[in-house]
Amino acid sequence: MRRATSFTENVPTPARLTFSVLTLFPELLRPFTQEALLGKARAKGLLDFRLTDLRDYAGNKHHKVDDPPYGGGAGMVIRVDVVERALADLRAVDPPDEVILLSPAGPRFDQHMAEELAGKRHIALLCGRYEGFDARTESLITRELSLGDFVMMGGEAAAACIMEAVGRLVPGVIGDEESHRQDSFSSGLLDYPEYTRPAEWQGQAVPEVLLGGNHAATERWRRDQALGRTLTRRPDLLAQATLTPHDSAALLALGVSEAQLRDWGAPAPPKVKRKR
């Protein structure tokens, strides 16, 4: 049987994180792993990507991996013995820490999961097609993950999303480590708006606070903007966010009630000092 294709054979040091993707269409993912920051991280030996074609484990001369479902029904189902052989070959070479089945039935992938997975050494991603995998495949995996409540034609796009979300958190992949902590969702809030030149465009000016050089005022403005954006666009996130007393004061100013703050578990706003 043909081994998985790896893109780091000439890199002398082991990668900090390896992704093995088991798929019927490895060529869909090959360019994605060779370009931009993921490609640079691969070249530096920080990440490795191994693409396994499930058809290599079909066990027949026609490389047929699927069959009609028992009990009838539309579509074709990928056989469990095909997956078992592919995973056995993978484990014999380099056992993965996680074998993740990409499925709409799994819990929704989020930033906290990305941070957890970034601490692993080797992650295998199992991409389905057609009507999915034989249900007994679930006995071969460690977990299922979904991107959300919608259906795609296969798991390759989801695998690409997970590899980028997780891979970018590996130290050295992104030059500015501080950017991780400022990302949307990493703080529990959506990100604040960013501006660059020109300072004015079609009557829209960059906020004055960003031009004044007062770093404390800039940080407070950015935090307030993140709170406002989250309140407007994703208020559900505020129940899980770590909020400060100053955040509570900003949210009250934005029209949030004290009862809502209590429901979110937010601390009380700072007490206003009265002048004597």
Catalytic residue among 42, 104, 134, 269: 104
Residue predicted with more confidence, 4 or 2: 4
Alpha-carbon Rg of the chain, whole angstroms? 24
pLDDT for the residue 7: 47
Residue predicted with more confidence, 83 or 188: 83
Q: How would residue 10 be classed by pLDDT, with cut points 50, 70 and 90? A: very low
pLDDT for the residue 273: 72
* Amino acid identity at 99: V
To the query of whether residue 131 is one of the catalytic residues in this protein, the response is yes
- The closest alpha carbon to 143, from 120, 168, 169, belongs to 120
To the query of whether residue 104 is one of the catalytic residues in this protein, the response is yes
Q: What is the dihedral of CA 152, 54, 105, 189, to 10 degrees?
A: -70
pLDDT for the residue 58: 97
Task: Summarize the confidence of residues 210-227 as an average pLDDT.
Answer: 96
pLDDT for the residue 184: 58
pLDDT for the residue 177: 67
Cα–Cα dist 115/174, whole Å: 14
Phi, psi of 204 (to 5 degrees): -105, 115
Residues 200-264, CATH architecture: Orthogonal Bundle (1.10)
List, for residues 125-183, the tens digit of each pLDDT value.
999 998 899 999 999 999 999 999 998 999 999 999 999 999 999 999 997 766 666 56
Contacts of 228 (CB under 8 A, 6+ apart): 250, 254
Task: Summarize the confidence of residues 18-25 as an average pLDDT.
Answer: 98
Task: Summarize the confidence of residues 90-118 as an average pLDDT.
Answer: 96
pTM over the 0.75 mark? yes
DSSP string computed for 232-276? HH-GGGGGTS---HHHHHHHHHTT--HHHHHHHTPPPPPPPPPP-
pLDDT for the residue 77: 96
CATH topology of domain 5-167: Alpha/beta knot (3.40.1280)
Catalytic residue among 156, 168, 224, 269: 168
- The closest alpha carbon to 124, from 5, 46, 21, belongs to 21
Burial category of 190 from C-beta neighbours within 10 Å (exposed 0-12, middle 13-18, buried 19 and up): buried
Q: Are 137 and 124 in contact (CB under 8 A)?
A: no
| pLDDT of 2 above 60 | no
Residue 9 CB: number of other CB atoms within 10 A? 7
List, for residues 242-274, the tens digit of each pLDDT value.
999 999 999 999 999 999 999 999 999 998 776
Q: Diameter of the chain by CA atoms?
A: 90
Task: Summarize the confidence of residues 89-100 as an average pLDDT.
Answer: 97
Task: Summarize the confidence of residues 21-43 as an average pLDDT.
Answer: 97
Catalytic residue among 84, 94, 98, 131: 131
Taking all residues of the chain, what is their mean pLDDT, rounded to a whole number?
Answer: 92
Q: Are 169 and 176 in contact (CB under 8 A)?
A: no
Catalytic residue among 89, 183, 193, 220: 183
To the query of whether residue 197 is one of the catalytic residues in this protein, the response is no
List the domain boundaries for the chain: 5-167, 200-264
pLDDT for the residue 182: 59
pLDDT for the residue 156: 98
- The closest alpha carbon to 41, from 142, 162, 172, 157, belongs to 172
Six-digit token pair at 95? 């056992």
Residue 53 CB: number of other CB atoms within 10 A? 20
Query: In CATH terms, are 5-167 and 200-264 the same topology?
Result: no
| pLDDT of 9 above 50 | no
- The closest alpha carbon to 38, from 91, 46, 218, belongs to 46
